[in-house]
Amino acid sequence: MNTAQIGGHPVSVTGRFSRIARLRDEYYDFLEHPSEFLAILNSHRGFSANLFTFIQRVSDRTPRFQYRLEWDSAAVLQLSTYENWWKKQINDKTRNMVRRAQKSGIEIRDAEFSDDLVRGIVRIYNETPVRQGRLFWHFGKSFATVKKENASFLDCSEFIGAYYKGELVGFIKLVHGEGVANLMQIISMISQRDKAPTNALIAKAVERCAARNVPFLHYGTWSRRSMGDFKRHHAFERMEIPRYYVPLTVLGGMFLRCGLHRSLIDRMPEPWLDRLAVWRAKWNSFRYRDTRPSGAVAQLAERRSQE
């Protein structure tokens, strides 16, 4: 993935053939005047892409531009008060999981962005190379890389940590925007899953948003294959967000007309994707079943730390 700074926004380009450009920090960075940005993008030397895509804010879902429109499915929790969420939006099982964290000795508290916090995050990242059946992208990253990546949007972010016996076992990075808060990061150690730290972190994020009168809490994309049940149990719902596509070249226009701007995965039937996800999880579980620093795991960690 190539990234360039254009018009005050980091822009990344993905894909070998269609080559689609987008704001690197989608859902955190937005275009107020896309026509002006596109003029800068088209005149930028050394920039090569066939299509440009961008989205509107979660809190502003009425289509406002005349470009080719499709829809993104985001996982969003609509909030009024913490009490309403606790008593009416979640079920007894989810409430019991939040209570379990407290009974198990999990402490939820603010975490200052510091080297100590980054070291705790690195330890969580390096617990296992596979999560949810997929290779974990953050596994094996260096301290410097983790610190740089988590330092984004610090002026509008807060970190909340889950601690067990004084040790960080999970954390949230909550990024506040216009009428919405975003869960940019939420992750806990798998070894501490029985203590439900992630459930407790979600509850604390809801509490913070309700206290600030924030009506929406955004938690990534909506997919029943990617923590769909977990999100649903915490009252997150599918919300459609306008996404626009703009051809930058003649080839880009052709890709758009033929539907080739969508990846092969996006065009596959759900049953096929479910089957592939099961086989991928089995393969990754077999390949990286030994998490000691040797063999395939060590090679993956070394490669990631050098990226």
pLDDT digits (tens, 9 = 90+) for 127-146: 989 887 778 889 999 999 99
Q: How confident is the model at residue 268 (pLDDT cuts 50, 70, 90)?
A: low
**What's the confidence (pLDDT) of residue 282?**
64
pLDDT of residue 94: 96
Per the model's pLDDT, the better-predicted residue between 225 and 255 turns out to be 255
Rounded average pLDDT over 157-181: 97
pLDDT at 88 over 90: yes
Give 174: exposed, middle or buried? Use CB within 10 Å, 0-12, 13-18, 19+: buried
With pLDDT > 70 as the criterion, what percentage of the chain qualifies? 84
- Who contacts 250 (Cβ-Cβ below 8 Å, separation ≥6)? none
pLDDT in tens, 4-56: 899 999 999 988 788 999 999 999 999 999 999 999 998 887 778 999 999 99
- 243 by DSSP, 3-state: which? strand
Give the range among 46-50, 102-106, 166-170 with minimum mean pLDDT.
46-50
pLDDT at 238 over 70: yes
pLDDT at 259: 84
Buried b vs exposed e over 205-220: b needs ≥16 C-beta within 10 Å? bbbbbbeeebbbbbbb
| Predicted pLDDT of residue 44 | 84
Q: How distant, in Å, are the alpha carbons of 87, 203, 236 from that of 99?
A: 14, 10, 19
What does the alpha-carbon distance between residue 183 and residue 282 come to, in Å, rounded to a whole number?
Answer: 29
Residues in CB range of 149: below 8 A, 6 or more apart: 141
pLDDT interval class at 263 (50, 70, 90): low
CA–CA gap between residue 146 and residue 152 (Å, rounded): 11
pLDDT reported for residue 294: 46
The structural domains of the chain, ordered by start, are 2-69+242-267 (no CATH), 76-239 (3.40.630.30)
The per-residue pLDDT for 223 is 73
Rounded Cα gap, residues 204 and 56, in angstroms: 27
